[in-house]
Each structure stands twice: as C-alpha cells, then as structure tokens.
Structure 1
Amino acid sequence: MSDYILSEETRTKYKKISTATIATALYKRGLRNQFIQGVVPVAAKADNMVGQAFTLRYIPAREDRNPITVFRDPHHPQRIAMETCPAGHVLVMDARKDARAATAGSILITRLAVRGAAGVVSDGGFRDAEGIGALSMPAYYAKPSAPTNLTLHEALDINVPISCGDVAVFPGDVMIGDRDGVMVIPAHLADELADECTGMESYEDFVLEQVQCGAAIIGLYPCTKEEHQLKYAEWRIKTGR
C-alpha cells in the first residue's frame, strides 16, 4: 500500500482537470493504459471525482460458498469494505468486467457516501442505479444490473492490487473521474502531474478561444510557432491563468 497522502491542494487542482489532459500527461511518461475501460458515470456531476483508491476484489461465485445467507455474516468483505473505506477515498471494485450481476446497490452505496467517501468505481454493475445517481457522491459503473452479486461474484479481498476495466489499480493510487470516465494515476506521480496538467488545461483553454475565433490548428496545437507562445503569454496575463 502506498504511503502517499493526497493533499487538499492537489485534490483541488484535480477537481478542474479533465481525464483527457491526464491521459496525455501520463502518455508522455510512457503510461498508456490508465483509463478504465467500459466504465461510465451513473449520473453526471458538476465536479470531478478525486480520491485515493481503496479496493475490493471479486472472484467468480461458487454455489457452495455463496448462498443468500452469507449476507448475515458480519465479516462479509463487501459489507466490511463499505464500512472501512476511509473518508475522502474512492472505493474501486474489480468485478472482472462482468455486469450481469451487481457489485452493490443503492443502500450500500448510500452508506459509503454518508461515511464521506469521494466516490465509487466498479467495472461491473449496480442495482438501483437511479438511486445511486441521485447521490451527490460520484459513482461509475459498466451498466445497471438487478441480480444480486452472489449469483456471479464473491467479494474476497479488501485493499489489495486489483484490475478494474483492464487497468492495474493499487491501494493509494489517485482516481480522477469526469463525465468521460476514470483515470488511474500512480500515487508517486500525483503531485507533479497536478501541476503539469493545470498548465496544460490553461493552454488548451487559450487554444479553444483562438479556434473559436477562426485560428488554424497547425502551429497552434501543439504550439510550434513563437507567435502563439507570445499570444498565450499575453492571454495568461489578461486572464490570470
């Protein structure tokens, strides 16, 4: 598990940074597979999801181990995960990309939200998706699914390295979610990427303004002409960016 602790300063920066910008910054460092595949917001939120990963791993359910009565067990890993995910963290669930049965429903996810979690991500399904979408806490999933997880999944390991949507997620990694999806940032890169991406977002806002005013892309995006560098410097002074 990472010793990294996400600061409020870095968390605030990521609230305004898109997953697309993060993907580009990670690609520059040779990391090409950090966007969780097949996962979308249950409902769009105004702010990004930002928090460190707290993980739950599911394996295929076996009938002799997963009767409906296992939910009576006070040590059931799914329930324990909901009660131990730290405030400000994101619960990330490895459901083997199988959304035929739910990894959680609105009651459990509401409990997670009430406890102060920053969000939840599953590469499987959720029950009662409408109720989950109504929460202020961001939630990401593959799609709605009514059957209980016991029909296909057994919750087994808490806060171990997992796969979610074909991305390796380690406890403590920084999860960023926007309306496009979710990026996984290795913890040791989180602070430097926040600073770099803030600058990248500033330049892209400048570029968008220029394009809306009729500017051509070549030489502007990416910036390879000094005239655009000078214009950008003037724009930053004017906008405080």
Structure 2
Amino acid sequence: MTSAPLSAETIKNFMYASTATVSMQMLKRGFRNTAVSGVRPLNPKATRMVGPAYTLRYVPGREDLDKPPSPNDPPHAQNKAIEETPEGHVLVIGTEGNLRSGTLGDILALRLKVRGVAGVLSDGGMRDTPVIGNFDFPVYCVAAAAPPSMNHLHPVEVQTPVGICGVAVYPGDVIVADGDGAIVVPRHLADEVARDSFEQERLEKFVAIRVGQGKPIKGTYPPNDETKKLYQDWIKAGEPAGG
C-alpha cells in the first residue's frame, strides 16, 4: 500500500479509457471483482475520476457516542479524512451499505474540492445532493439521505481496507470512475493497466469507425491482421476522425 501520487502519464491514460475498458484489462489479469456497481455520480457532467484511494470507515452508530457536533468536540476519523486526504486522491467511504444517513454534506464536499481531492466514492448515502450535484467535482454514492451521519453512523478509522458494494478497497488502490461506475485497480498494477487500457480504447475507437462505415464484425472486432495493419496506418496518419 502506498500514498505515492500517480504519474501524469498514468492519469492521462486512465482518463482516456472508459471503465468498461479498464474492467476488461483487469479481467485479462484474472481480476473479476473490481467493479463497484450501484454507485452513481451526483453530477452527470462531473463523472471522470482517477486517483489513489484514501479510505474512511464507518460502523453503525450508537447513541452514547454519536451526538450533534459542537465546536469543542475532539477530532475524529471523519475530520481527519476531510483535512488529510491528499491532493489528487479519492476519498473512499465504507459504511457497510448504510443508506439511512448521509456520509457527507455539501460543506464537507466543498472542502474536499477546494483542497484538490480528486473526488469521493461512497457505498452509502449523501446529504445535500441537489447542491453537490452542481459542483464540478465527482461525488459517487448509492442514494440521497437527508439525516446527518451521526444519526446512524460512527467514523472509526482512516487508511484501513474497506468494502465498497462488495469490492475490497485498500489504501493506495487506484479508483477509476465514469458514468458506468467505478473500477478498483491495485496500485502495483496501475501503470500497466492504464497503459494497456489506453491502447485498447484507441483501438476500439478505430474499430468503431470501421463498423460505422459498414464493415462486418468478423475480422474487425476483434481485429484480424488486416484490420491491425489499417489501425497502425490510422495512428501514423494522426488518427483522423473519418478513419
């Protein structure tokens, strides 16, 4: 596990590729349980999200521990996550699927945004979704929930493995998200998966052009030697939109 930032090249490659493509690259490496299903972006115009995971784990709340906040409260794990998630990282919030309370609201989400955090991924609910939905900031969750987190949740720790919709996320794993959801990539595989995802996405862009021109699937997708040769010629020509 590492908190080292991703290279600009790896981020660029992941941002170019869809999560569908990244999931295929993970499958080629034997990973079948990497797709976080059921989460959706609050702002459909702010969906692309790439960054290492910084994790926050909640457990079910208890009345003697979870009360309305006051200025004199000692710091807890949520405070730590809001102020210490590194720039360019994704705050990943595990709640055991609790949808009765929001894990964050608009003010905390705004704080993450202005600090340069790459986005938020939660398997729980989110408060103030109409406001967050206007942010140019990727926030993924399962549902809207008006009650504050302390209604039903207790923040216990940061930077520990969490389960998000049945998928394990370890601190430092790379989160790649778009409108289809999110994919979790182990950090030690991130550079090669990003590189191969870029290449697959570019090839499929060319294939889609060919199919749109009326070419049959056989020999085009997956590409045969002739199509691969045409693909290399297309790259050398500067990847023209018309193929």
Query: TM-score interval w.r.t. the shorter chain?
Result: over 0.9
1:151-186 deviation digits (Å, cap 9, x = unpaired): 221111111111112111111111111111111110
In structure 1, C-alpha distance between the alignment counterparts of 2:46 and 2:64, rounded to whole Å? 44
- Preserved contact between residue 51 and residue 90 of structure 1 (Cα < 8 Å): yes
Which residue in the other structure is 1:202 paired with? 202
- Preserved contact between residue 54 and residue 85 of structure 1 (Cα < 8 Å): yes
1:82-139 deviation digits (Å, cap 9, x = unpaired): 0111111110000112222100100111011111101111111110012112222211
Which residue in the other structure is 1:232 paired with? 231
Q: Percent identity?
A: 42
Question: Deviation at 1:219?
Answer: 2.5
Which residue in the other structure is 2:180 paired with? 180
Q: How many residues align?
A: 240
Structure 1 residue runs of 5 or longer lacking an equivalent are none
Give the structure-1-normalised TM-score: 0.94
SS in 2 for 1:15: helix
Which residue in the other structure is 2:40 paired with? 40
In structure 2, C-alpha distance between the alignment counterparts of 1:138 and 1:71, rounded to whole Å? 29
- Preserved contact between residue 49 and residue 178 of structure 2 (Cα < 8 Å): yes
Which residue in the other structure is 1:86 paired with? 86
- Preserved contact between residue 36 and residue 166 of structure 2 (Cα < 8 Å): yes
Which residue in the other structure is 1:56 paired with? 56
Q: CA RMSD in A?
A: 1.7
Within 5 A, what are the aligned runs for 1:1-241? Answer: 1-2=1-2, 4-45=4-45, 48-69=48-69, 72-223=72-223, 225-240=224-239
- Preserved contact between residue 14 and residue 50 of structure 2 (Cα < 8 Å): yes
Question: Deviation at 1:230?
Answer: 2.0
Judging changes above 3 Å, is the alpha-carbon distance between structure 1 residues 212 and 62 closer, same or farther for their aligned structure 2 residues? same
Question: Deviation at 1:3?
Answer: 5.8
Question: Deviation at 1:66?
Answer: 1.2
Question: Deviation at 1:4?
Answer: 4.5
Letter in 2 for 1:231: L
- Preserved contact between residue 15 and residue 47 of structure 1 (Cα < 8 Å): no
Letter in 1 for 2:59: I
SS in 1 for 2:20: helix
In structure 2, C-alpha distance between the alignment counterparts of 1:81 and 1:72, rounded to whole Å? 18
Give the structure-2-normalised TM-score: 0.93
- Preserved contact between residue 4 and residue 187 of structure 1 (Cα < 8 Å): no
Structure 2 residue runs of 5 or longer lacking an equivalent are none
In structure 2, C-alpha distance between the alignment counterparts of 1:205 and 1:22, rounded to whole Å? 15
